[in-house]
Chain A
Amino acid sequence: MATVETRALRKEFTGHTTAVDGVDLVINEGEFLVLLGPSGCGKTTLLRMIAGLETQTSGDILIGGRVVNELPPRARKIAMVFQSYALYPHLSVASNIAFPLKAQGAPRNSIAGEVERAAKMFGIERLLQRKPRQLSGGERQRVALARAMVRHPDVFLLDEPLSNLDAKLRNLARDELKQFQRRLGTTTIYVTHDQVEAMGLGDRIAVMSGGKVRQLGPPQDVYDEPADTFVAGFLGSPPMNLVHVDGVLVGFRPEQLLPPSAVSGDGSGPTVPMRFAVERVEHLGAGRLLYGTLPDLAPNDKIIVSLAYTVHSTIEAGHAYDFRVHQSNLKFFDPESGLRVPARPLPARRSA
């Protein structure tokens, strides 16, 4: 039984920096929640408060329905994987994994068995007698995970556990991590600044900035219907294009502005024409990135368009093309607050 809840959680550091500014979250049992945001947004502080490594200035934290504000980390039935893995350097892998069991008085004859099981789950049985410094980054990460799950906590807390891995390893590790969590069904809170990871791993994503949660929801929802310009710009690579038109910000994703032949006309709704002046073309192998402007609508705003390799149209820099975008893909934002506002019709083509 392990839901996690925060109520009006605040953390102010001395010197009046507010790291977490009133966060209300309910994380369901078995859910994989990602806290996503740039560095300094408060996600790690939030995680550490849930762990009990930081004391909140105000607000409550509940784990499994119990208020845990006063409990030290060891009593909260949690496990944590740190960015640096924090393996005990003077202990062997086996001792590292056994450490939480020993610390909490598990019966001695069961410890070895549990360590074996945990090691098997991550495929590191042959490493049990080695010391951390003899392991690769990927191996250390697995040891950290094994150590975390060996005593069956109610909640897993993960602080950017993939960021120290080779780029090539990261995809694989991501896949394994998600499968492993699915299998165990443990409630998981995962902190990252990498929006690709967030999209791939999370059941829900909480996008944070300035100590507040800007938007909470399943990845696709947060991607398709961003609540404000921050979320719109943070998710997606390249980020959503935002152009100024008649006192409002119009947003659309780079992959949504397309040559007419590529825009699907299958009932996804009406499409809107936009003339696109291409300044530069990048060939990226899997597709192309086009840099340019919309001369009729917003000649001063640079935009990027992403064409998958399946789009065969010839595009050359220095030319303008009549592209189209689905009306439903246009999102409107208030330029001052950044918040989403209702859709409205775009002005007609300006006279040249």
Chain B
Amino acid sequence: MTAPALARLRWNERAAGVTDSTRWLGTIMLAPAVVYIALVVAVPFLMAIGYSFSSVTIGTSTPRFVGLENFKDALEDPAFLKSLGNTAIFSLVSQTLVIVLASILAIALQRKFRGKWLVRLLILLPWVAPISLGSIGWLWIFDPVYSVINWTLRHVGIFGPDTWPIWLGQPNLAMASIIGVHVWRTLPLATIISLGGLSSIPQDIHDAAEVDGAGFFRHLFVITLPLVLPILLVAVLFGLVFSITDMIVVYVLTRGGPFDSTQVLASLAFFKSIDGGDLSGGAAVALFLLPVLAVCAVLLLRIARRAEVV
């Protein structure tokens, strides 16, 4: 550049402004999200707590403060206790299955093979498909008359010609079905995340184990699985949160029946509020989810920290 051109080159010499400052810029860029979350999550959350301590129905305009009455009522309600138990059972059983299956599957998927893209697509379907639509699919599969499962098992000879399990109509079977659908839905994410975790184990470690003479099972159980476990647990915690807070699968498949045998806290809260009009009772029931979620959150963060995820 000639001298005059050089002079024309602005050095952008205006003094430091807001767009330079680390402190102010950070706050400004963060503010919209924080404000929004405060308004749309924090405030309603506090309102829900307020409801649980008052007596509010769909018709009331002025809530009365009633202290812990809603919570006491809940604890004395057999439907509530069953829901509490179900929530625990569904979540723990389904996620235990997920841990075991995801580990196996992640190891199987690690090998190179053709068509991996297709396999991954198939495996992702349960997770990506809208929950209600997947559940409807299962509703059809579990249909009392036309269930393809029943037909197949009868046809293959495992069931006798008169064996006609009503998957969603018999309490134990219904519970098993819900658990099955939860596993179906959360297994994909857990597997894919574990696969990521598996791939991140440096090859050196596997080589060292080989040189040190580890056989297949020792290598698997003492080296590979413990190294994948932290990441797998993070995925499972997501699955746990889904399982604990889910009301969609229950709503679509059984509406909580038969006789509340598949009712969970989330669905009970929903039905109490919408069908029963008892907003306070519903809120109280829903709030019981909180301690469990808080524990999950703490665990999630602790394990994630060790797995270097968060």
Contacts and interface: CB of A to CB of B under 8 A. Distances in A.
Interface in B1-41: 1, 5-6, 8-16, 20
A114 B1 contact: yes
B152 to A, nearest CB: 53
B1 A75 contact: no
A313 B16 CA distance: 66
Chain B interface helix/strand/loop/mixed: loop
A313 B184 CA distance: 82
Contacts of B12: 74-75, 103-105
Q: Which of A101, A110, A113 has its CB near the most chain B CB atoms (within 10 A)?
A: A110
B13 A75 contact: yes
A120 to B, nearest CB: 14
A176 to B, nearest CB: 23
Nearest to A77: B11
Interface residues of A, number: 17
B11 A70 contact: no
Contacts of A110: 1, 5
A72 interface: yes
A106 to B, nearest CB: 5
A7 to B, nearest CB: 20
Q: Which of A72, A106, A152 has its CB near the most chain B CB atoms (within 10 A)?
A: A72
A61 to B, nearest CB: 14
B10 A70 contact: no
Contacts of A267: none
Contact of B9 (A70, A75, A113, A151): A151
B21 to A, nearest CB: 9
B10 A104 contact: yes
Nearest to B19: A72
A107 interface: yes
B15 A104 contact: no
A114 B13 CA distance: 21
A104 B16 CA distance: 15
B5 A104 contact: no
A103 B9 CA distance: 10
Given A110-B1, A114-B1, A152-B1, A75 B6 contact: no
Interface of B: 1, 5-6, 8-16, 20
Given A72-B16, A75-B11, 11 more contacts: A71-B15, A72-B20, A75-B12, A75-B14, A103-B12, A104-B9, A104-B10, A104-B11, A104-B12, A105-B9, A113-B1
